[in-house]
Amino acid sequence: MGGRLARVVAPVLVLLLAGGRASAVWPMPQRLTEAPGPSTALSPGRFRLRYAAASAVQPGCSVLDQAFARYLRLLFGPARPAEAGEDQANDSTLTVFVVNPGCDGFPSLNSLESYTLILSEDQFSLKAEEVWGALRGLETFSQLVWRSAEGTYFVNKTEIVDFPRFPHRGLLLDTSRHYLPLTSILETLDVMAYNKFNVFHWHIVDDPSFPFESVSFPELSRKGAYNSATHVYTPEDVKIVIEYARLRGIRVLAEFDTPGHTLSWGQGAPGLLTPCYVGPAPSGTYGPVNPILNSTYEFMAKLFSEISSVFPDFYLHLGGDEVDFTCWRSNPDIRYFMEEVGFGQDFTKLESLYIQKLLSIVSSYGKGYVVWQEVFDNGVKVKGDTVVHVWRENAGSYRKELERVTNASYRALLSAPWYLNRIGYGQDWVEAYKVEPLQFEGTPEQKALVIGGEACMWGEYVDATNLTPRLWPRAGAVAERLWSSKDVTDIQSAYLRLADFRCELLRRGVQAQPLYTGFCKQEFFGP
């Protein structure tokens, strides 16, 4: 059982016990060069993070001011600052130079995250086009610093030129099937930043519960949440999440999935859902959103007006997946409507009618949208800038779906092989790591339309008790696949670095599960 893996684990222990970390950056940078020669010692009380004099952003930039403080704590803990008036001639300083101004905005799909990091005898410098790249560079620097057995901090002479392979690198959390407290979401955002993820896909509501506290329709959460006092996200909670994410260079992509997955909406919005029938009589149960009523679209217009103002990202995720037509088919009013408009028995046309009206509503608020692949599969007329999210996994069929989506000139996101809620005994991160997002038949122009992907953590069996260890470090496999060069594929090398990174996560207080047998010194000796 342990033959091949044991041969992999042995050098991991040597790496960890030796204390060296210089080549263990996760995800792997595009280009990393280590120079020979002695490492440079860092004194926690005398190390500085500073803006370069010519940088387009200076002190007062909230993103970098907070990042400087955050990374000094991550590196050294509550280390002693230099005493006032103390000789600072021997201070070590990482100077940060940002080419373009801008600190108060939000990251977007077009944000630049490239950076250059030079650690030499003459200089410690970090250069980035935008503050978002500076954040990624600070994370890389923090992983390059290592601590000897005697407690001295070192960094090796290193030069890194780095940028992401894909602009959309996301992680989905489902907060409907189990409510996740704010602390769990914020911790997840922290670890996303450590992995250079840049999109938090917030699947905030679904059939089981409606925890989003709407100002326009307060009854939705009062009657649809598990507990309207304890299991809701207030407007202030949502603002906290969005700002916390912004300061880490992470977009918040909110998903409100309709017309299916909406049972929790029903009690707070009477008349919104379709009454199901058994024969000629109502059954007392309800199906998807009722697509034949004007009141449905009036409701959606008001709700999505609020959603569009609350969530600043250009994109909203509108779902559109897994619509069960059974209830629509049973309802006599809907059957009559189908006959009147000439849809016959093709309920995909009815679904398309609803989706197209919803997309028009959302577009009127100046928003773009992401939809699950069924919207494309069912032939809904969507805008050219629509992003199609590929999630169905049947013997690699997602590759054919990517081919079809991009052949129709739509941009695509991939999640099908990265459903991390599915777990198995052993190192299932390896299968996620082996995925090549562009391994499908298509032209270079088609492949350029794949803007990235997302790891998904659906919540049927996940809540705050097991979210963190189930996510990390497994989600790191997806993070590296979406950030690093397509040529970074060596499993043994990845194992060494990911095992080391997992130990670093433990040092940072993240309860990441082990990859295999072994130990981390942080388990016993603290940071």
Catalytic residues: 322
Cα dihedral value 171, 174, 179, 182, nearest 10:
20
3-state SS, residue 194? helix
Contact of 456 with 413, CB cutoff 8 Å: no
Residues sharing a CB contact under 8 Å with residue 95, sequence separation 6 or more, in sequence order:
50, 51, 52, 123, 124, 125, 126
Number of H helices, E strands in the chain: 18, 19
Using alpha carbons, list the distances in angstroms from residue 242 to 166, 185, 237, 467: 22, 11, 9, 20
User: Beta strands 273-278 and 251-255: pairing type?
Assistant: unpaired
Using alpha carbons, list the distances in angstroms from residue 314 to 107, 211, 301, 317, 455: 10, 23, 17, 10, 21
Using alpha carbons, list the distances in angstroms from residue 279 to 81, 158, 332, 455: 76, 73, 9, 43
Buried b (16+ CB within 10 A) or exposed e, 239-276: eebbebbbbbbbbbbbbbbbbbbbbbbbbbbeebbbbb
First vs last C-alpha separation in the chain: 33
* Secondary structure of 335-393 in HEC code, one letter for each residue: HHHHHHHCCCCCHHHHHHHHHHHHHHHHHHCCCEEEEEHHHHHCCCCCCCCCEEEECCC
CA distance linking residue 478 with residue 170, whole number of Å: 9
Sheet holding 40-42, edge to edge: 40-42, 153-155, 146-147
CA neighbor of 385 nearest in space, from 457, 315, 298: 315
| Chain-centroid distance, C-alpha 186 | 12
Segment holding 49, helix H or strand E = strand 47-51
Segment holding 454, helix H or strand E = strand 450-457
CA neighbor of 479 nearest in space, from 175, 166, 89, 244: 166
CA distance linking residue 160 with residue 124, whole number of Å: 12
CA neighbor of 81 nearest in space, from 54, 117, 45: 45
CA distance linking residue 71 with residue 137, whole number of Å: 11
| Chain-centroid distance, C-alpha 317 | 13
Contact of 440 with 402, CB cutoff 8 Å: yes
CA distance linking residue 407 with residue 447, whole number of Å: 9
